[in-house]
Structure 1
């Protein structure tokens, strides 16, 4: 049994690549939690994709035993969180399970957009924050300037920030001492009824559903009967363990401790993140506030290239959603692509990660349709429906107006690239909210429509700033705008997989670009094919794909011109008839390339 005063729970927050996972490695290594022979880089990033891309996707936990300089033994529970904006949901719920944060800032790069976003989440959760300046062994490091910048931009006192190099291990003992001296101990009552927060859950092929909990009050022991307050389900605890990163069995968990339980739970869906766990008898009647569920913001269709793989895709998606609660899916069909799934994601990186995992772990070749966002359609009869797929747009005569999702984007950029960034935001129908300076770096805050950001905003931002800008956003709600559905017609037939929602002012330019692209992508047929972009019944752009034709006049040499004319007219009539009944085959590759038109 551990005394409350000897427990410290904390998370590590930072921008992408500022050294969170490397610092976690050093803390684990220097306290001997993992033997040197088992140590590897980014120990807590267990997924192949995390290791390959060098990013953290799931927040991971480890329990460290540490003996401080004053001879006291402490238990440190560390949560390593993701830095990427798409996984901010993982960060926010990890914050609720701990009392303090180490704010890691790269001493060469300084404060970035994601640093700000994550710090504000920590401040919202009432955390004690200890600034840590990393990478001080690099020649370009300027710890004094960056410490001032932290004070100016975030408003946290950074005079006694820990100066470290997580790679070489400089300053790691100072960080451990700062954790036990400057971060608060958790609060809780041992004799009160059990109240534990469900922080995360995942599926293990051997143990079933594994649930990570943080005990607030009371004690939980192996064999106890527990009740989930949100679902009212009752389970018996089979296994109680702490993560050192491997599971180590333990007899009981007291207040302030973080551990994992298994209780023969069949589905991850039965465990709602943020739920309160209590004893079946004499439980608490006062549940914890919980979290708002994650709301997908980007939707796209996933279809198998080979229609025979549909059942395999269904199984793969079911297994993946067991491990990732923020990923949602439902079945859909498309005339062009067959059967598939409409899936919701937290952002484009999340979409890429899920798609890579499906292709790699389950060996399925996929076609991804254009990412789209959810629009609100207000009908004339006063009802409101959500539109996930532009192809399902109802008849405009019944529609009162459309609303699109807007985001508040924070962009940190060096001064010399500011003009290009402002122009990019203006081009994307952005409204400037704020522009401030921190040293030689500008911080621009914009209100942008999400559908303009979804395609390639991040890539364009990186290219106009040579990679120096950082970008973070949060959802701001819906606003009415002049939006229309643009359909693409090939040989007078609408192709629903290519329908997109556009702003009326941009429709013509977007339609022309799409028609030009398709003209190069669709192979020529024996008859000419019109490719048109249309809004409702009005065609706004057109390209014509010429027919392949045989030279029917080759055998006529000399003689009267009417002989040639007769043969040409006969051919023309045949082509006209062929166009009436002919079907245009659009290759799969054409769909993918046409939808990548923004890149």
Structure 2
């Protein structure tokens, strides 16, 4: 087991398209985590849609062994996060599992909206932040202006920002050294009762649910009986391991480690993100402060073009919901379209991605209704009903007032 002082847990955050996944690729390559013949672009983006669109949708984790210039060996746990605002939930969740962040800013474009949103997530989680100026190989690069902008707009010191070209590999060693020397080591006690945070979970048809955990205190071994503190369910751990990025089994996970466990869990719903996992006997008494569940904000109906495919659609939506806790659905019938589902999404990109996945992975042609929001109808007798569909509008003589969702937005634009 690695000493705590030689472990570093960090995430890479940035605006969409500023080069997070490319930087993750270079860090993996520089440390020989993956053999050169197995290397590919966007190493951590496993879904077809991620690779085609060049975006990250699911946060991915990888464990890197690094020998620093001072000759000491370190274990780095890296989480590559999405940049798009629809997946901010993935980002906030990953932040809770690590102690520091590399803030990647495109040195040709400077600070953009999502850069700020993601920095605020990092500051909320009390992170140490190391700014990285990427794309210095491009002719339009202007590192001094962007460093000044980081200090003005975000208010973090960028005098020692690392200048990197993730594409050509310049500055990668400096980035690894900064992770080792400028980010804090995790805290934790080996002898304390097991306290592990459930960071993510997804379904595998052979192993059942795979649970991504960050060990805060204590240790987790194969064969342990563990309890989920939110729903009280008890499971027998079949295997534990780490991602290098392929799943690699190991014998024990200690404080500060990020790894996975499988325990023949059938339903992803049993593994609530943000839950605390502890031993069945002699467990910890207080759960970790959890994060808030994701709040869907855009709703639309999904209907099969061929009504006979309704059962297939139900199966596919249930399987997708297994791997995406932020996606909600309920049955709906429409006079024109027949049976279908009313689904809630975190945003329009999230909607597009789910729709593409159903059409592609399950081969079902879909009709998607126009995206809408939910209205609260306050009746004169004091009751409140929710309106999902204009066709269900009640008689206005009984209505006192109608409320629609609003957002508080901060709009950030350049001076000129």
**Both proteins in one fold, TM over 0.5:** yes
Task: Please name the residue that 2:397 is paired with.
Answer: 397
**TM-score with structure 1 setting the length:** 0.69
Q: Write the deviation string for residues 187-207 of structure 1: whole angstroms up to 9, x where unpaired.
A: 011111100000000011111
- Quote how far apart the aligned CAs of 1:411 are: 3.8
Q: Which has the larger radius of gyration?
A: 1
The 8 Å contact of residues 202 and 210 in structure 1, kept in 2 or not, is answered as: yes
Aligned residue in 2 for 1:444:
none
Specify the alignment match of 1:361 in structure 2: 361
- 1:505 maps to none
Q: CA deviation at 1:383?
A: 2.1
CA distance in 2, matches of 1:100, 1:395: 55
Deviation at 1:90, TM superposition (A): 0.3
Residues 356-387 of structure 1: CA deviation (Å, up to 9, x unaligned)? 00111111111001111112221212222222
Aligned to 2:316: 316
Shift of 1:311: 1.1
Q: How many angstroms apart in 1 are the aligned matches of 2:134 and 2:34?
A: 23
The two structures, once aligned, show a CA RMSD in angstroms of 0.9
Distance 2:276 2:381 in 1: 41
Task: Tell me what 1:131 maps to.
Answer: 131
Rounded Cα–Cα distance in structure 1 between residues aligned with 2:6 and 2:381: 62
Q: CA-to-partner distance for each residue in 1:468-520, whole Å, 9 max, x for gaps?
A: xxxxxxxxxxxxxxxxxxxxxxxxxxxxxxxxxxxxxxxxxxxxxxxxxxxxx
Q: Following TM superposition, by how much is the alpha carbon of 1:256 offset from its aligned partner in structure 2, in angstroms?
A: 0.7
* Offset of residue 413 of structure 1: 4.1
Structure 1 counterpart of 2:340: 340
Partner of 1:181: 181
CA distance in 2, matches of 1:150, 1:175: 18
Write out aligned runs for 1:236-385 (5 A): 236-385=236-385
| In 2: Cα distance, 1:230 partner to 1:191 partner | 23
Q: How far did residue 295 of structure 1 move?
A: 1.0
CA distance in structure 2 between the partners assigned to 1:200 and 1:287 by the alignment: 17
Of structures 1 and 2, the one with the larger relative CO (CA 8 A, separation 6+) is 2
Unaligned runs of 5+ in 2: none
What SS does the corresponding residue of 2:284 show, helix, strand or coil?
Answer: coil
Shift of 1:316: 0.8
State whether residues 327 and 344 of structure 1, in contact with CA within 8 Å, keep that contact through their aligned partners in structure 2. yes
Distance 2:215 2:395 in 1: 53
More displaced 10-residue stretch of structure 1: 174-183 or 389-398: 389-398
Asked if the contact 1:219–1:253 (Cα under 8 Å) also holds between the matched residues in 2, the reply is yes
The equivalent residue for 2:100 is: 100
Q: Take 1:331 and 1:30, find their aligned partners in 2: how far apart are those partners?
A: 49
Hey, what does 1:207 align to over in structure 2? 207
C-alpha distance after superposition, 1:331-371 (max 9, x if no partner)? 11111011111111000000000000011111111100111
Distance 1:383 1:245 in 2: 53
Q: How far, CA to CA, are the matches of 2:242 and 2:68 in structure 1?
A: 21
CA distance in 2: counterparts of 1:386 and 1:58, whole angstroms: 31
For the Cα contact (< 8 Å) 1:113–1:410, is it kept in 2?
no
Deviation for aligned residue 1:157: 0.3
CA deviation map 1:168-202 (0-9, x unaligned): 00000000000000000000111111000000000
**CA distance in 1: counterparts of 2:119 and 2:355, whole angstroms:** 30
Alignment of 1:458-537 (within 5 A): none
TM-score (norm 2): 0.99
Q: Distance in 2 between matches of 1:282 and 1:94?
A: 28
Using the TM superposition, give the Cα deviation of residue 393 of structure 1 relative to its aligned residue in structure 2, in angstroms. 2.1
More helix by percentage? 1
The DSSP-based 3-state class of the residue aligned with 1:56 is coil
Q: Which is worse superposed, 311-320 or 379-388?
A: 379-388
Matching residue of 2:45: 45
Which structure 1 residue ranges, 5 or more long, are not aligned?
A: 415-436, 441-599
Aligned partner of 2:142 in structure 1 is: 142
Structure-2 separation of matches of 1:98 and 1:386: 39
The reply to whether residue 172 of structure 1 matches residue 172 of structure 2 is yes
In 2: Cα distance, 1:392 partner to 1:189 partner = 57
Instruction: Report deviation, 1:151.
Output: 0.2
